[in-house]
């Protein structure tokens, strides 16, 4: 588990999501990365049931249950600004039991699927974010394996991102800001994904022409 | 008390005369006391002549007298009466009784005297001892004891015999009834060894390893049935058992896993036609009943089936460079290029038909018992793993699986970490590795042995270590020259034989890795021979020479135990006999090696650089061999 940066690649002008993804992957291959299979990160949203809300009528909290193929036996559950729980895959079954307390939001499943590339110590994942049948955006995840402290390797990561993202290089993720010197963990990656998915959800749908 | 007046005491004798009569006027007439003679008479009357004199015999005599009195009742009564009469009539002459008694005594004595005198003459009367049928009086008490003891013992023996008879009767009765009533006790015995349960009216048992951790899907149930085909009239056979077990039909007979290594690969057509040789059934313990042997054999068959199923599953699933072939009851794989490892399940049923057909026996020599044993151990290891605490979930609600695997979810392990947790090697891979190692080890040993037998000088010694691993063995090889072992210690090699490679560690620290090729090891060892010789030769480079003969082409130096010839030219003619002479007479190790390595005695390969001293005299010449060069 190394330091990971998740960012969004905006769709190129006049091109579809797929074409942009292809562009990126070709760049990576030219760079020398080798394909190592596929990956998938998905997210489901639940909100606390109305019955559990207090008389004050506050809005229910949203809980995200996420899976990452990089950690095949784990399940992540997190609140927006709250703690992130790393659990066994039995957690999904548990959620079914907790139907009374957590209700699944409609049409909330969002996922990103794509290919996984290994370039020496870097692990790059370029994926298409889809919500239902429609592709909404492109996610790029870069992991630098050897380092576990964010502050130490951010500059290296940035440089690498620049090499193939060019101008679309993101700034430092928010999670880095919180703890500079603490060990980076998978939960932080999932938080980044959650933020990415939320951002994409709020975005307007990609124009129809772009989907084709 | 001096003051008291003395009292006068008068004494009167008490012998008063007896009063005969008292007159009317009160006068008493006294009886005259007896005079001396009268007193004597009175006492004489009281003598009892029937009693003997002497105080010791008085009591005995008294007893005898009493017995006599009791025995002769009539006579004693008369005697008493007479004596009583005598006392009552004192006017009778008091000595009368005394006189009568004396007289009778005299008569008796006279008679006795007469008899004795007649007997003494032995003419008219002889004394004869009374015939005694009893034993002499001294031995009587002992024999009596003996007889009495005998009688009493006989009585005790009688009682005991009676009791024993009763017991034997009851035991034989028991025996007869035993066979009929004993199903339950036999069932109890069975239950001590095997798990039984009652289903309806059937008694079923479990002979599988499921409770020991196996995951094989065979049910392994056997049925216990009552043996009722006993004919009470006929004699009950000795090995009769009221209980019989019925094992599943596919577990009948006996089975074992045959693991063998063959050098040449057989034809493809021969695959699957493994000739099974029927292994003699392992002798059951003498006291164990027949159902025990039956059940144990069935359990063994089940275990062998499980082992083979596991191996064949792995053979098919696991990808390897050279794929394994699974045909019928045989798994064939190639650990080394020219080598073939075949693992086969040999299951022979107990039918008479198959016994006849399996007459031709394949030689059991190529069966590796060690590997078969290891297979059994490995599968048991696997069983134990499923039951170990690492696998059993804590808490009980956790899912099954390895402990660390359960943590991999909450701790977000990635694929690399998960792979490292899972045991990567299956049963087949382990067995193949072990087979490779065994083969490599035996071939190394054969190589060393062949070299040792082929080459006499220098000598190669191999010290194999006793403690080995399944995948690694080690041997220490020493190359020494005879007589110079203490000096030439530099060639010591430690060979670590692994699964596919042999690693050689030299004494001076060099580490060389040899592959499994046989030739490589041989060449390497041969090169080490040379090293040894170089060392040896350098040490023994001078020999005192006794005489020198110089010829055109050669120079002969005669030394203490042989002849050394040296020539300038490289090729010799007629070399053979000379060299042979050297071989016999001279035990210089360097020239021995020359003979070994130049088999054709072609000394083209041999170059001898020598120096010798200038002054050639018979005693001062020393030959120095500096180096030997070999190609």
Q: Which of A158-162, B540-544, B551-555 has the lowest mean pLDDT?
A: B540-544
pLDDT in tens, B26-42: 888 888 877 888 888 88
Q: Between B451 and B623, name the one with better pLDDT.
A: B451
Confidence band of B531 (pLDDT split at 50, 70, 90): confident
- How confident is the model over B93-110, as a mean pLDDT? 87
Residue whose pair of structure tokens reads 């990971």 in the numeric block: A4
Q: Is the dihedral of CA B514, B518, B523, B526 positive or negative?
A: positive
pLDDT at B67 over 60: no
Check CB contact under 8 Å for A88 and B411: no
What's chain A's average pLDDT? Answer: 84
CA B363/CA B365 separation, integer angstroms: 5
Residue numbers in A near B412 (CB within 8 A): 1, 71, 74, 76, 86, 185-187
Q: Supply φ then ψ for residue B545, to 5 degrees.
A: -105, 135
pLDDT for B234 equals 62
Question: Residue B326 is inside which H or E element, if any?
Answer: strand B325-327
pLDDT in tens, A37-83: 999 999 998 888 766 655 555 567 788 999 999 999 899 999 888 88
Check CB contact under 8 Å for B414 and A73: no
**Closest to A71 (Cβ–Cβ): which among B405, B406, B413?**
B413
pLDDT at B514 over 80: yes
Q: Give the gap in angstroms from C-alpha B407 to the nearest C-alpha of chain A.
A: 8
Question: Residue B297 is inside which H or E element, if any?
Answer: helix B290-317
Residue numbers in B near A185 (CB within 8 A): 412
pLDDT for B469 equals 87
Question: Residue B343 is inside which H or E element, if any?
Answer: strand B340-348
pLDDT for A11 equals 83
Q: Give the gap in angstroms from C-alpha A76 to the nearest C-alpha of chain B.
A: 9
- Give which of A37, A73, A77 to mutate to test B binding, by max B Cβ within 10 Å: A73
pLDDT at A93 over 60: yes
**Closest to B410 (Cβ–Cβ): which among A1, A72, A86?**
A86
Q: Give the gap in angstroms from C-alpha A16 to the nearest C-alpha of chain B.
A: 32
pLDDT at B568 over 50: no
- Most confidently modeled of A125-134, B50-59, B231-240? A125-134
CA B338/CA B440 separation, integer angstroms: 12
Q: Give the gap in angstroms from C-alpha B430 to the nearest C-alpha of chain A.
A: 28
pLDDT at B106 over 90: yes
Q: What chain B residue is nearest to A88 in terms of C-alpha separation?
A: B409
Task: Answer yes or no: are the C-beta atoms of A149 and A63 closer than 8 Å.
Answer: no
Q: Give the gap in angstroms from C-alpha B411 to the nearest C-alpha of chain A.
A: 7
DSSP class of residue A119?
E
pLDDT for B163 equals 94
CA A51/CA A53 separation, integer angstroms: 5
Q: Between B126 and B169, name the one with better pLDDT.
A: B169
And the tokens for B630? 């070999």
pLDDT for A104 equals 83
Cα–Cα–Cα angle for A31, A32, A36, rounded to 5 degrees: 120
pLDDT for A166 equals 81
Q: Between B322 and B265, name the one with better pLDDT.
A: B322
ipTM, two decimals: 0.73
Confidence band of B587 (pLDDT split at 50, 70, 90): very low
pLDDT at B559 over 70: no
Task: Tell me the count of A-B CB pairs closer than 8 A.
Answer: 38
- Most confidently modeled of B44-48, B202-206, B424-428? B202-206
CA B266/CA A96 separation, integer angstroms: 60
Q: What are the angstrom distances between the C-alpha of B559 and each of B483, B564, B580, B607, B609?
A: 19, 7, 16, 21, 18
CA B627/CA B171 separation, integer angstroms: 95
pLDDT for B232 equals 58
Task: Answer yes or no: are the C-beta atoms of B301 and B254 closer than 8 Å.
Answer: yes
Check CB contact under 8 Å for A71 and B412: yes
Q: Between B550 and B540, name the one with better pLDDT.
A: B550
Residue whose pair of structure tokens reads 């055109």 in the numeric block: B552
pLDDT for B62 equals 46
Q: At what angle do helices B575-585 and B589-597 cross, to 10 degrees?
A: 140
Confidence band of B294 (pLDDT split at 50, 70, 90): confident
pLDDT for A77 equals 92
pLDDT for B330 equals 84
Q: Is the dihedral of CA B239, B245, B246, B247 positive or negative?
A: negative
CA B522/CA B515 separation, integer angstroms: 12
And the tokens for B227? 């043996």
Strand partners, B505: B494, B511
DSSP class of residue B617?
-
pLDDT for A51 equals 66
pLDDT for B65 equals 46
Check CB contact under 8 Å for A88 and B406: yes
pLDDT for B169 equals 92
pLDDT at B57 over 70: no
Check CB contact under 8 Å for B415 and A87: no
pLDDT for B238 equals 59
- How confident is the model over A168-192, as a mean pLDDT? 82
Q: Determine contact: B277 vs chain A, CB below 8 A.
A: no
pLDDT at B104 over 90: yes
List all residues of chain B from 401 to 440 with a beta carbon under 8 Å from chain A.
Answer: 405-406, 408-415, 418
pLDDT in tens, B207-240: 888 888 888 888 888 888 887 666 655 665 656 6
Q: What percent of chain A has pLDDT over 70?
A: 89
pLDDT in tens, B175-199: 776 655 577 888 888 888 888 888 8
Task: Answer yes or no: are the C-beta atoms of B348 and B358 closer than 8 Å.
Answer: yes
- How confident is the model over B407-420, as a mean pLDDT? 83
- How confident is the model over B77-99, as a mean pLDDT? 60
Task: Answer yes or no: are the C-beta atoms of A165 and A199 closer than 8 Å.
Answer: no
Task: Answer yes or no: are the C-beta atoms of B500 and B515 closer than 8 Å.
Answer: yes
CA B441/CA B475 separation, integer angstroms: 10
pLDDT for B627 equals 34
What's chain B's average pLDDT? Answer: 73
CA B247/CA B222 separation, integer angstroms: 5
pLDDT at A6 over 80: yes
Check CB contact under 8 Å for A185 and B405: no
pLDDT at A167 over 50: yes
pLDDT for B481 equals 77
CA B208/CA B204 separation, integer angstroms: 12
Check CB contact under 8 Å for B409 and A1: no
- How confident is the model over A3-32, as a mean pLDDT? 87
Q: Between B87 and B617, name the one with better pLDDT.
A: B87
pLDDT at B576 over 50: no
Check CB contact under 8 Å for A74 and B399: no
Confidence band of A13 (pLDDT split at 50, 70, 90): confident
CA B382/CA B387 separation, integer angstroms: 9
Task: Answer yes or no: are the C-beta atoms of B364 and B277 closer than 8 Å.
Answer: yes
And the tokens for A201? 């959800």
**Closest to A89 (Cβ–Cβ): which among B409, B411, B418?**
B409
Q: Give the gap in angstroms from C-alpha A73 to the nearest C-alpha of chain B.
A: 5
Residue numbers in A near B405 (CB within 8 A): 73
Helices (H) and strands (E) in chain B, counts: 15, 20
pLDDT in tens, B147-162: 999 999 999 999 999 9
Residue whose pair of structure tokens reads 């069932």 in the numeric block: B187
């Amino acid at each position: 588990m190394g330091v990971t940066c998740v960012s969004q690649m905006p769709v190129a002008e006049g091109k579809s999501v797929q074409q942009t993804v292809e562009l990126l992957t070709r760049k990576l291959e030219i760079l020398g990365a080798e394909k190592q299979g596929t990956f998938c990160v998905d997210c489901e949203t639940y909100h606390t049931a109305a019955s559990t809300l207090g008389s004050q009528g506050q809005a229910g909290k949203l809980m995200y249950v996420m899976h990452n193929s990089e950690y095949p036996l784990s399940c992540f559950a997190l609140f927006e600004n709250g703690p992130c729980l790393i659990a066994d895959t039995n957690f999904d079954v548990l959620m079914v039991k907790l139907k009374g307390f957590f209700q699944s939001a409609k049409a909330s499943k969002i996922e990103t699927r794509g290919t996984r590339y290994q370039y020496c110590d870097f692990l790059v994942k370029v994926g298409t974010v889809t919500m239902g049948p429609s592709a909404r955006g492109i996610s790029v995840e870069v992991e630098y394996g050897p380092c576990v402290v964010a502050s130490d390797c951010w500059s290296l990561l940035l440089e690498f991102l620049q090499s193939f993202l060019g101008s679309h290089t993101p700034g430092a993720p928010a999670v880095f800001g919180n703890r500079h010197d603490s060990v980076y963990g998978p939960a932080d990656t999932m938080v980044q994904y959650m933020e990415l998915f939320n951002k994409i959800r709020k975005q307007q749908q990609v124009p129809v022409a772009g989907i084709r | 008390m001096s003051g008291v007046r003395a009292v006068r005491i008068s004494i009167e004798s008490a012998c008063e005369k007896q009063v005969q009569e008292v007159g009317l006027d009160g006068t008493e007439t006294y009886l005259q006391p007896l005079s001396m003679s009268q007193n004597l008479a009175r006492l004489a009357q009281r003598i009892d002549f029937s009693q003997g004199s002497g105080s010791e015999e008085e009591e005995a005599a008294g007893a005898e007298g009493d017995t006599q009195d009791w025995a002769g009742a009539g006579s004693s009564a008369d005697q008493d009466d007479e004596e009583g009469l005598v006392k009552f009539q004192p006017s009778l002459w008091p000595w009368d009784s005394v006189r009568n008694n004396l007289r009778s005594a005299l008569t008796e004595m006279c008679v006795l005297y007469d008899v004795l005198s007649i007997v003494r003459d032995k003419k008219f009367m002889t004394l004869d001892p009374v015939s005694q049928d009893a034993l002499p009086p001294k031995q009587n008490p002992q024999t009596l004891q003996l007889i009495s003891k005998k009688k009493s013992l006989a009585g005790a023996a009688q009682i005991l015999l009676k009791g024993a008879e009763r017991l034997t009767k009851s035991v034989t009765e028991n025996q007869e009834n035993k066979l009929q009533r004993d199903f339950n006790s036999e069932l109890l015995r069975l239950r001590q060894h095997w798990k039984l349960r009652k289903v309806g009216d059937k008694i079923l048992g479990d002979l599988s390893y499921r409770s020991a951790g196996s995951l094989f899907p065979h049910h392994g149930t056997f049925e216990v049935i009552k043996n009722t085909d006993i004919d009470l009239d006929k004699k009950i056979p000795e090995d009769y058992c009221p209980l019989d077990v019925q094992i599943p039909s596919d577990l009948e007979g006996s089975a074992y896993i045959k693991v063998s290594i063959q050098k040449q690969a057989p034809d493809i057509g021969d695959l699957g036609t493994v000739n099974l040789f029927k292994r003699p059934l392992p002798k059951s313990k003498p006291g164990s009943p027949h159902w025990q042997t039956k059940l144990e054999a069935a359990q063994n068959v089940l275990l062998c089936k499980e082992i083979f199923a596991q191996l064949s599953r792995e053979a098919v699933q696991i990808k390897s460079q050279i794929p394994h072939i699974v045909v019928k009851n045989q798994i064939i794989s190639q650990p080394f290029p020219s080598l073939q490892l075949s693992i086969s399940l040999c299951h022979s049923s107990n039918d008479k038909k198959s016994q006849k057909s399996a007459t031709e026996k394949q030689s059991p020599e190529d069966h590796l018992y060690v590997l078969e044993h290891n297979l059994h151990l490995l599968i048991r290891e696997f069983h134990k793993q499923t039951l170990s605490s690492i696998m059993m979930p804590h808490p009980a609600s956790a899912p099954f699986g390895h402990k660390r695997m359960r943590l991999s979810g909450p701790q977000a392990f990635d694929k690399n970490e998960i792979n490292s947790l899972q045991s990567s090697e299956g049963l087949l891979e382990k067995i193949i590795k072990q087979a490779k190692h065994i083969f490599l080890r035996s071939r190394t040993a054969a190589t060393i042995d062949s070299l040792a037998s082929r080459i006499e000088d220098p000598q190669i010694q191999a010290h194999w270590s006793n403690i080995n691993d399944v995948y690694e063995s080690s041997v220490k090889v020493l190359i020494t020259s005879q007589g110079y072992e203490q000096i030439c210690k530099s060639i010591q090699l430690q060979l670590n034989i692994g699964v596919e490679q042999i690693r050689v560690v030299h004494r001076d620290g060099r580490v060389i890795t040899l592959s499994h090729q046989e030739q490589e090891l041989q060449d390497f060892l041969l090169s080490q021979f040379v090293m040894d010789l170089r060392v040896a030769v350098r040490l023994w480079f001078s020999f005192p020479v006794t005489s020198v003969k110089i010829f055109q082409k050669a120079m002969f130096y005669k030394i203490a135990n042989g002849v050394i010839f040296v020539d300038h030219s490289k090729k010799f003619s007629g070399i053979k006999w000379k060299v042979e002479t050297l071989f016999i007479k001279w035990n210089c190790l360097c020239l021995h090696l020359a003979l070994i390595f130049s088999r054709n005695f072609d000394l083209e390969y041999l170059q001898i650089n020598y120096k010798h001293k200038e002054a050639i005299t018979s005693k001062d010449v020393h030959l120095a061999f500096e180096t030997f060069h070999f190609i």
